Amino acid sequence: MTRPFRVAVVGAGPAGIYAGNILRTRAGEAGIEVQIDLFESLPSPYGLIRYGVAPDHPRIKGIVTSLHDMLADGAVRLLGNVEIGADITVDELQELYHAVVFATGAQVDRHFDLPGLEKHGSFGAADFVSWYDGHPDVPREWPLNARQIAVLGNGNVALDVARVLAKHPVDLLTTDIPENVYAGLAASPVTDVHVFGRRGPHDIKFTPIELRELGEVPGVDIVLYDEDFENGSTAVGGADKGAGGRAGAGEAAANGARRAVGNQAKVMARILQSWRERESTDAPRRLHLHFWHRPVEILGDGDGDGEGAGRVTAIRFERTEPDGAGGIRGTGEFVDYGVQAVYRAIGYRGTPVRDVPFDEAAGVIPNDGGRVLDENGAAVPRLYATGWIKRGPVGLIGHTKGDAAETVEKLLEDHASLSAAERPDEDAVIAFLRSRGVRFTTWDGWLALDEHERALGEEFPGMQRERIKVVSRDEQVAISNREVVAR
Ligand SMILES: Cc1cc2nc3c(=O)[nH]c(=O)nc-3n(C[C@H](O)[C@H](O)[C@H](O)COP(=O)(O)OP(=O)(O)OC[C@H]3O[C@@H](n4cnc5c(N)ncnc54)[C@H](O)[C@@H]3O)c2cc1C
């Protein structure tokens, strides 16, 4: 009798769900009986689609529908509220499964070395995003008391953060934002949100759809500055050359799919140009886009760390210009902007899972096409990686699919040697989690929570709120666990 090939996938974001689904299909085609468990540290699935994608992007959240379908028949079994490396160790997991695929993504802000970063009013984008998306593990309150705000970064996350900060909260009322988030945003006195990029308008890493929607936010004027467009090689009209031709290969790769290329750059150049020609509507809020500004220091009214750090009062930049070799250099001209809050949206970073190799510099699990490597570069038997923890936090949801296909291919190449070992059946892990007192959630539990959240949305008739998220972890688990554990 052949034994089923038992695989644990860690992380129920898009990468983990695609990996589980592709594995199930490819194994079926190869005549391999496979049992797949999908572990997730949160009580609910979908990773950054639920806790990263902005609430006013319901179209993107629609991807959830296809991910839902991949889990609906239970062939990939969801076990939520289980943190691998804490509730169950990787060694223990390996005793229960023939192979483990890590799809643990990226949850925290990349480190940024900027004097004054410790001041009150200086925030990482990842924390703010987690707050407005109702992540259970961040505080419910967010200090929104700044009238002028700086957002550092020229990628889509910077745009998300700037848009959510600038938007009139009533325009977010049709989304799934939790009540505490709406209340926080409704109390914000903000009038001006300034987005700063170190490079020129041709080097933005936004995507055209995200850029365009910024100009459609009701009651918010977009402000651009002529001097940012005057710099010869930096003119918006040079977008094609800039985006396509100037970056070195390494830099282009690092910027990944979010870098504007070819037609995309032309479209964005046209959008920026149309905003430059637009008349102000004297809107109560303004969103400023600045280019050629390198942050130098966050200024404040205190000195030292902790309570003594003081509050943000301004941010200092050095103006930059092209260095003629594809990079930028400082001009020696410094400029201060009076702001009371600074948000840095300079990239996410993966975090290590205990007992799994980790590349601290790159913030990823070192791997070769998905096979996890040890510090000597040798493949670690039974361990694989996919998604943002495999290749770094760049690229859109769709990119995690190709990634998962590559990892699954490697896993199936190794199937014969991996599956030679004895592994207990699929009930063993359930018994194990219960013996540890882990309050795990299941797919049926998610269906219960999903239904509950949708019902909360229906309490606002006429507003077409698809759902209102339940924030608290305990509450999510309690609602989920009204369902019995079933398979
Ligand atoms: C702010 C923001 C906005 C974005 N907006 C868009 C957008 O509009 N459109 C788009 O296409 N892409 C967008 N993206 C990119 C998209 O979110 C990513 O491409 C995608 O989510 C990466 O998928 P992943 O599965 O690798 O990681 P994640 O989505 O991060 O999923 C990883 C999962 O693993 C879980 N996990 C981590 N550690 C453990 C552990 N030890 N045990 C168990 N589980 C664990 C996490 O809880 C999480 O659920 C955005 C990203 C960010 C940060």
Q: Which mutation among 38, 53, 107, 391 tests ligand 1's pocket best, with the greatest number of atoms within 8 A of CB?
A: 53
Same domain (yes/no): 276, 374: no
Range of the domain at 144: 110-234+264-348
Q: How many Å is the maximal CA-CA distance in the chain?
A: 75
Report how far ligand 1's centroid is from the alpha carbon of 19 (Å): 14
Residue 98 lies in a domain: yes
> What does the pLDDT read at residue 237?
34
Q: Best substitution site from 89, 210, 258, 397 to test ligand 1's pocket, by max atoms within 8 Å of Cβ?
A: 397
Instruction: Decide: 258 in ligand 1 pocket, CB within 6 A.
Output: no
48 pocket-lining for ligand 1 (C-beta < 6 Å): yes
The neighbour count for residue 271, using CB atoms within 10 Å, is 18
Q: Is residue 152 part of a domain?
A: yes
Ligand 1 atom nearest 398 alpha carbon: 11
Closest CA to 47 of 82, 14, 77: 14
Mark whether 213 and 329 lie in a shared domain.
Answer: yes
CA of 351 to the centre of ligand 1 (A): 12
In a domain, 397, yes or no: yes
State the Cα torsion 142-147-151-156 to the nearest 10°: 70
Regarding the beta carbon of 394 and ligand 1, being less than 6 Å apart is answered no
Q: Strands 76-79, 122-124: parallel, antiparallel or unpaired by DSSP?
A: unpaired
Same domain, 70 and 125: no
User: 148-152 and 192-196: which strand pairing?
Assistant: parallel
Q: Would the CB of 481 count as within 6 Å of ligand 1?
A: no
Exposed e or buried b per residue across 160-190, where buried means at least 16 C-beta atoms within 10 angstroms of its C-beta = bbbbbbbbbbeebebbbbbebbbebbeebeb
By alpha-carbon position, which residue is closest to atom 52 of ligand 1? 52
Residue nearest to atom 53 of ligand 1 (CA): 52
Q: How far apart are CA 349 and CA 362, in angstroms?
A: 8
Q: Do 156 and 210 sit in the same domain of this protein? A: yes
Q: Which of 90, 104, 133, 353 to mutate to test the pocket of ligand 1 (most atoms within 8 A of CB)?
A: 104
What local confidence, expressed as pLDDT, does residue 339 receive? 98
Do the beta carbons of residue 77 and residue 383 sit within 8 Å?
Answer: no
Q: Looking at the structure, do residues 285 and 314 belong to the same domain, yes or no? A: yes
Number of domains in the chain: 2
What count of other Cβ atoms lies within 10 Å of the Cβ of residue 72?
11
- Do 355 and 341 lie in one domain? The reply is no
pLDDT in tens, the chain (487 residues): 578 999 999 999 999 999 999 999 999 999 999 999 999 999 999 999 999 999 998 777 679 999 999 999 999 999 999 999 999 999 999 999 999 999 999 999 999 999 999 999 999 999 999 999 999 999 999 999 999 999 999 999 999 999 999 999 999 988 889 989 999 999 999 999 999 999 999 888 888 999 999 999 999 999 999 999 986 444 333 333 222 222 222 333 333 333 456 788 889 999 999 999 999 999 999 999 999 999 999 999 877 666 667 999 999 999 999 999 989 999 999 999 999 999 999 999 999 999 999 999 999 999 999 999 999 999 999 999 999 999 999 988 999 999 999 999 999 999 999 999 999 999 999 999 999 999 999 999 999 999 999 999 988 777 778 889 999 999 999 999 984 444 3
Residues 419 and 340 in one domain: no
Is residue 84 lining ligand 1, measured as CB closer than 6 Å? yes
Q: What share of the chain is helix, strand, coil (3-state, %, to 5)?
A: 40, 20, 40
Hey, whose CA ends up nearest to atom 37 of ligand 1?
104
Q: Whose CA is nearest to atom 15 of ligand 1?
A: 396
Q: How far is the CA of 209 from the centre of ligand 1 (A)?
A: 20
**Strand 312-322 to strand 293-300: parallel, antiparallel, or no bridges (unpaired)?**
antiparallel
Phi-psi region of 452 (alpha: psi -120 to 50; beta: other; left: phi over 0): alpha
Residue whose C-alpha is closest to residue 259's, from 394, 163, 397: 394
Residue 195 CB coordination number (10 Å) = 28
Q: Is residue 485 part of a domain?
A: no
Q: Is 254 inside a domain boundary?
A: no
Ligand 1 pocket residue status of 157, Cβ below 6 Å = yes
CATH of the domain at 61: 3.40.50.720
φ and ψ at 66, to 5 degrees? Answer: -75, -35
Note whether 36 and 62 are within 8 A (CB).
no
Both 51 and 149 in one domain: the answer is: no
Domain boundary among 333, 348, 363: 348
CA distance 307 to 483: 46
Looking at residue 256, its pLDDT comes to 35
* 8-state DSSP, 218: T
**Residue 230, CB-side half-sphere exposure with 13 Å CA sphere:** 4
Q: Tokens 């964005």 sit at which residue?
A: 268
Does the beta carbon of 53 lie inside 6 Å of ligand 1? yes
Cα 319 to its chain centre, rounded Å, is: 29
Please indicate, yes or no, whether residues 188 and 309 belong to a single structural domain of this protein: yes
Given 302, 321, 348, the domain boundary residue is: 348
Hey, CA dihedral for 275, 279, 283, 289, is it positive or negative? positive
CB atoms within 10 A of CB 285: 18
- Ligand 1 atom with least separation from CA of 42: 47
Give nearest CA residue, ligand 1 atom 4: 53
Specify whether 309 is located in the same domain as 321: yes
Residues 214 and 324 in one domain: yes
Is this prediction's pTM over 0.95?
no
With CA atoms as reference, report the closest residue to 207 among 16, 398, 400.
398
Residue whose CA is at the smallest distance from ligand 1 atom 41: 84
Instruction: For ligand 1, atom 30, name the residue with the nearest CA.
Output: 105
Give the burial class of 325: count Cβ atoms within 10 A of its Cβ; 0-12 exposed, 13-18 middle, 19 or more buried: exposed
Q: Whose CA is nearest to atom 50 of ligand 1?
A: 53
Shortest-distance atom of ligand 1 to CA 46: 49
Task: Name the nearest CA neighbour of 37 among 482, 442, 479, 449.
Answer: 442
Same domain, 57 and 184: no
